[in-house]
Amino acid sequence: MNIPLQIAKEIDLKEKQVLATIALLNEGSTIPFLARYRKEHTGGLDEDQLRIIEDRLNYLTLLEERKVTVLSSIEEQGKLTDELKEKILAALKLQEVEDLYLPYKPKRKTRGTIAKAKGLEPLALFILDNPNFIGNFEDELAKYIDPEKGVNSLEEALQGAKDIIAEMISDDADVRKVVRENLLEKSVVSSQKSNPKKEDLAPKAKDVYEVYHDFKIEITKIKAYQLLALNRGEREKFLKVSFGFDKDEILKDIFKQFFVYKDSAFLEILESVVDDSFARLIYPSIEREIRNYLTEIADVHAIEIFASNLKQLLLQPPIADTMIMGIDPGFYSGSKIAVIDPTGKYIDGSTMYPHPPQSKVVESKKILLDFIKKYNVSLIAIGNGTASRETEFLIAELIKENDLKCNYLIINEAGASVYSASAIAKQEFPDLEASQRGNISIARRVLDPLAELVKIDPKSIGVGLYQHDVDQKLLVKKLDDVVVSCVNYVGVDANTASASLLTYVSGMNKRIANNFIKYRETHGKFTNRKEFLEVTGVGEKLFEQCAGFLKINDGDNPLDNTFIHPESYKATEELLNMCNIPLYAVNKSGNLVSLFASQKGPEKISEEIGIGEPTLMDIIENLKKPGRDPREEMPKPILRSDVLKMEDLQIGMTLKGTVRNVVDFGAFVDIGVKQDGLLHISQIADKYIKNPLEVLNVGDIIDVKITGVDIEKGRISLSMRK
């Protein structure tokens, strides 16, 4: 197989684009580097396209390796025909190769292999090869009675032959394909409530699957979240899942596929063999395959949603130049307070006990007020966990009573406890207890969400559904790709970035990231990008991959604070000379370069200075906004100073809300009350949408209308429809 050509066909690209991408990947280039700095080579492919090429390259390479193994195995058996070889070589899926290999795959002891050992294979072939047989079949069966081989009767001989034929049918690739397609296109997925024994249940397990106690859906219409729920319910012993199908239709399909004739002297025998083969061999195997296939699709879908939510969360805009107080609310153990400065440095902290059982409200307000006034706190970040709502009331009351010029917002604290007990947290705050570190993380998530959240396992950030049920290897890779993409999209300050953040920079790893930190501690701040080469472990190739993503503010060269790669500095300086702009004046003159380029023409300029037009346009864009943080264009979070109760909500009321999570069936929106409201997919737009992500992303600020409030169940229904 020509792998580059096959990939190009699959994703509608030119073969040379795929060839160039594969060559650069083999040289050690990263996806972010290729997307930003090798547009001329790849034809301007974006990160998503590059990752598809990488994934398909890995899959098709594995496929080709498997073909070699299978062909070698069949050839060793002396059974490889030209037709079979051609079919195997033409296969585009591993499943197709495995189906073709099945008849030749070394088998464990089965009813069919036992019958063959008894010398009954010729009888099986006789039944298959003589549809027009006329005579006494019992005479034919009698030839195979041999007590020494374990065949003691006519019935045993016939049963052995039937077992051999049943396996032949089951091993036929075309038969398996017919059955698989029928089940995938026409079956119905059903689930019923099971009655598990107590000893089979996990501790504290609850049956939350009422909606699936009597559930039926066409297999082509089942949603990813439904399938994952069924899988979990079955795993937890609360549900029984099965397929409904037209068995007679499938048996007819098998007969037509396997037998070249419509009628046979042995028709009754063959019909019973087909039934047995399907029930005993084919269906159990294909059912497992289909369950796995559907689960893989559901996993990919759920992971894509998780990844999309994570990306939007990581790219939330930072709130700069602000003294921030973070509060990790709690009842019995108290609410932990931390104050950080605009650089994220921990300044001060304490614990207050405003909620039951202590209920020290007055004392807690004094602690809060002292911190706010002493450090000029203008923003309070409250974690959304236990006692969050009660703490919000306390803060809103404090602001109102003291007429404070102060706002608050509720922060998703998922993963804060994971961080507080991590090695990274211990290294950052060795003198603080774990319980005092989570509140710092909450505060820093407001200051710079990306820089703080990269310290936490992405699975713990809490922006998906069923993250513990999906393929963990696939999930980890996808989420890691998202973090890498976000970090390199935003860029990293080489002089302030933590080791956690540096680890995700193109080409870097934990060891190199720690070496960067050691270099800063020993030599002070980096003053130019060339210094990166002095860091232990950074050679020319690694420098090429990472240099453009590591920025230096107030360094020797203003270009070091842009995404312009050092390899393009000479071309950039030539461009500036054309515009009569000195290098030191770049920060104030970028728009003049853009004006000059539009007048002279990018094509002519790129030809004169010897670079590609895409690179030229990137240089111009960076000169216009040197040091720009792309997150500045994202919607800012809603800051609040007063609190809204669920009892205050009325149907028809319109409020501003923040999208907290997007799932298959809609989105959860924070409208400023304790419970997030559900914006069902049917209420997102006035037109039909297939996926909420077509319209919404985590962090979006939207106007929603209250359509339902159930105080007893804590449910709020929302709508965006006009």
Q: Which pLDDT belongs to residue 205? A: 66
Q: Would you list the domain boundaries of the chain?
A: 3-104, 517-633, 646-719
Pick the more confident residue, 713 or 65: 65
- Please spell the DSSP secondary structure of 230-251, one letter per residue: HHHHHHTTSEEEEEE--HHHHH
Please check the confidence at residue 525 and state whether its pLDDT lies above 70: yes
- The model carries a pTM of 0.87
| pLDDT 10s digits, 88-114 | 999 999 999 999 999 999 888 999 999
Please check the confidence at residue 202 and state whether its pLDDT lies above 70: no
Structure tokens at 551: 């920025």
The pLDDT-based confidence of 414 (bands split at 50, 70, 90) is confident
| Non-local CB neighbours of 573 within 8 Å, separated by 6+ positions | 583
Q: Which pLDDT belongs to residue 145? A: 95
| pLDDT 10s digits, 468-478 | 888 989 999 99
Superfamily of structural domain 517-633: Tex RuvX-like domain-like (1.10.150.310)
Under DSSP, is residue 709 helix (H, G, I), strand (E, B) or coil? strand
Task: Read off the amino acid at residue 158.
Answer: L
Q: How far is CA 96 from the centre of its chain?
A: 27
Q: Measure the CA–CA gap between 208 and 201, rounded to whole angstroms.
A: 13
Q: Which pLDDT belongs to residue 644? A: 79
Q: How far is CA 495 from the centre of its chain?
A: 31
CB 622 within 8 A of CB 674: no
Please check the confidence at residue 628 and state whether its pLDDT lies above 80: yes
Give the C-alpha distances (Å, rounded to integers) separating 337 from 393, 436, 589. Answer: 16, 8, 45
Under DSSP, is residue 338 helix (H, G, I), strand (E, B) or coil? strand
Q: Which residue has the tokens 């069902």?
A: 680
Least confident of 187-201, 379-393, 541-555, 682-696: 187-201
Under DSSP, is residue 604 helix (H, G, I), strand (E, B) or coil? helix
Q: Which pLDDT belongs to residue 204? A: 58
DSSP β-ladder status, 677-680 and 715-719:
parallel
CB atoms under 10 Å from CB of 626, counted, come to: 19
**Edge to edge, what strands does the sheet with 214-218 contain?**
214-218, 188-193, 239-244
| pLDDT 10s digits, 126-152 | 999 999 999 899 999 999 999 999 999
The count of C-alpha atoms lying within 13 angstroms of the C-alpha of 152, restricted to the half-sphere facing its C-beta, is 1
Task: Read off the amino acid at residue 592.
Answer: L
Q: What is the mean pLDDT of residues 655-663?
A: 91
CB 492 within 8 A of CB 16: no
| Non-local CB neighbours of 416 within 8 Å, separated by 6+ positions | 328, 383, 438, 439, 441, 442
Q: Which CATH number applies to 646-719: 3.40.630.150, 3.90.550.10, 2.40.50.140, 3.10.20.740? A: 2.40.50.140
Q: What is the mean pLDDT of residues 429-448?
A: 93
Q: Which pLDDT belongs to residue 597? A: 87
Mean predicted lDDT score pLDDT of the chain: 93
In 575-692, where do the E strands start and end?
Answer: 654-663, 666-670, 677-680
Q: Which pLDDT belongs to residue 352? A: 97
Q: What is the mean pLDDT of residues 107-128?
A: 94
Classify domain 3-104 at the CATH topology level: Arc Repressor Mutant, subunit A (1.10.10)
Please check the confidence at residue 201 and state whether its pLDDT lies above 70: no
Q: What is the mean pLDDT of residues 616-636?
A: 88
| pLDDT 10s digits, 677-718 | 999 999 999 999 999 999 999 989 999 999 999 988 889 999
For residue 357, whether the previous peptide bond is cis, meaning omega lies within 30 degrees of 0, is: yes
Please check the confidence at residue 666 and state whether its pLDDT lies above 90: yes
Total residues belonging to the chain? 722
Structure tokens at 16: 């040379």
**Residues forming a β-bridge with 709:** 716
Under DSSP, is residue 311 helix (H, G, I), strand (E, B) or coil? helix
Torsion angle defined by CA atoms of residues 668, 670, 671 and 674, in that order, rounded to the nearest 10 degrees:
110
**Edge to edge, what strands does the sheet with 346-352 contain?**
346-352, 335-340, 324-328, 379-383, 407-411
